[in-house]
Structure 1
Amino acid sequence: MSVSASFTSIVGFDSAWTDNPRTPGAICVIRLESDGAHLHLAPRPASFAEALDVIRGEGQHAQKCLVALDQPTIVPNLTGSRPVDKVAGSLISWIGGGVQPASRSKKGMFDDAAPIWRFKQVLGAIEDPELARTASSGLFLFEVFPALALATLESAFCSRLGAPKYNPVNRKRFKIGDWQAVAEVVRCFGALNSLRHLDEWCSVVANSEAPRKADQDKVDAVICGLIGLHWLVAPREQSVMIGDLESGYMIAPATRGIHSRLIAAATQRNVSIR
């Protein structure tokens, strides 16, 4: 990484996992400078290759760059799901959502030829969330999960079957009120971390009468970026790392403390949570 500026870049990337050209993911960039944070690149569609281009561009100028990725980044298990997936699922299932189990048996997602592994190889980032917080420079990567973030940020979403139905693809379950509520939670999460230039974007999102899947991907990319920003600037106790760097992990906000269901599930499965 060529260091030529004193700002930190936080890249939020919703990869869509399989790198299907017809259904790309989305990416955004937040820059953290001496006078605070601002949304530098509004979310836009991006494949893995396009994401690498964005990250390279940021890396040429930023002193530190953190990539917050909505996809499992460490998947050693051949079948089933990772311990961290089970812990996250204890809360997500309760609120009426789902956790995609990650294993090497998932063709196109986590098998040896899956795009995530080439992405990581080409990226060459350090995968150490705790070091990413304290290091003065470098390129870092960590895994985040927007659905878990939303559950921990909004009490209305963190109740029995209270998960927001904001995926436009699922027409039977999609609720425009939930879509608008998610946009407001994103706006408030940005305000909590003093992120500038987000309000207007959230207003446009909230006023969309017929959002598409690409719009949801953009929302999730912003949530990814905000999780990364929160990890860096908020007190450590307001975030949680579930799991470890051997079996897999997730980073999520914990602005109201770590939810008791996550603690119980982690304790039961002997999974690190801190």
Structure 2
Amino acid sequence: MPNITTSIVGFDSAWTDNPKAPGALCVIRQNEDGAHLYLPPRLTSFADALDVIRSESRDAQKCVVALDQPTIVPNLSGSRPVDKVAGSLISWIGGGVQPASRSKIGMFDDGAPIWRFKQALGAIEDPEQARTALSGTFLLEVFPALALAAIESVFCSRLAAPKYNPANRKRFKLADWQAVVEAVRRFGLSAPLRHVEEWCSFAARHETPSKSDQDKLDALICGLIGLHWLVAPRDQSMMIGDLQHGYMISPAVGGVHERLIAAAKLRGVPLS
């Protein structure tokens, strides 16, 4: 088997580490033959995710964790500058950004599981270094809702955000679930990522997807964001914010949306 040059772990943590509402992860492995979906999305806890990441860090030269949860939260209340910038687009398309602050007990207070996870992981949190380094374990903050608006133009217009969360029964639309799966399938194939089509074909056939199914889909989106950040030209991705106040990594396949540019300029938030 060719050497594993890079392992990308897509991790939708679900933030609170509640056993009744677990997160999900997937693993994408990359070598000289290209990238493939090594571990299809599955439910996970923070502890299980840490075990998987440690195993991947041993097997691969470089391991990159793409995490759907704020990883740098210095503000005691309110929301981070990056949340406001992302929210300028997400609210326009009809979605929402949950504000991150230390006042969120169980999510970002001093005893929250994310900080124990980061300490145990011991990863380097420097997105630009993650792109260029040949070895090491790295952590990236990603946001699937923002990525979907970037990879599928249909989702990026007024109140057009897909309603694909089965937990919200009043708003959930099966057609939106299928549209998101199809967008993820195309994005994965463009990488290119082997085995993504099989997984997406199975997911698209769900007539009554559950919240766990959505978590798994979001974990795959996280992994694809990480893969895209590493292998696509730099100008096809964006980093909103900085390593002091918080940031997000997202695809920018068609360029950075004008609403994000305007919001970043208004608030003095770096965008590259």
Partner of 1:97, secondary structure, is: coil
Structure 2: runs of 5 or more not aligned: none
Equivalent runs, 1:48-87 vs 2, <5 Å = 48-87=46-85
In 1, are the aligned partners of 2:4 and 2:30 still within 8 Å (CA)? Answer: no
Equivalent runs, 1:91-240 vs 2, <5 Å = 91-240=89-238
TM-score (structure 2 length as normaliser): 0.99
Aligned residue for 1:251? 249
In 1, are the aligned partners of 2:188 and 2:224 still within 8 Å (CA)? Answer: yes
Corresponding letter in the other structure for 2:25? I
Measured against aligned partners, the alpha-carbon deviations of 1:128-187 in whole angstroms (never above 9, x if no partner) come to 000000000000001000000001111110000000000000011000000000000000
Measured against aligned partners, the alpha-carbon deviations of 1:180-205 in whole angstroms (never above 9, x if no partner) come to 00000000110110100010110111
CA RMSD of aligned residues (A): 0.8
Q: d(CA) in 2 for partners of 1:153 and 1:197?
A: 19
In 1, are the aligned partners of 2:65 and 2:226 still within 8 Å (CA)? Answer: yes
Aligned residue for 2:239? 241
Q: d(CA) in 2 for partners of 1:78 and 1:143?
A: 19
Aligned residue for 1:31? 29
Q: d(CA) in 1 for partners of 2:192 and 2:104?
A: 39
Q: d(CA) in 2 for partners of 1:32 and 1:256?
A: 25
Partner of 1:218, secondary structure, is: helix
Corresponding letter in the other structure for 1:108? G
Partner of 2:10, secondary structure, is: strand
Question: Deviation of residue 5 (structure 1)?
Answer: 4.0
Corresponding letter in the other structure for 1:176? L
Measured against aligned partners, the alpha-carbon deviations of 1:82-127 in whole angstroms (never above 9, x if no partner) come to 0000000000000000000000000000000000000000000000
Structure 1: runs of 5 or more not aligned: none
In 1, are the aligned partners of 2:26 and 2:42 still within 8 Å (CA)? Answer: yes
Q: Which is further off, 187-196 or 5-14?
A: 5-14
Partner of 1:12, secondary structure, is: strand
TM-score (structure 1 length as normaliser): 0.98
Percent identical among aligned pairs is 75
Corresponding letter in the other structure for 1:222? L
Corresponding letter in the other structure for 2:32? S
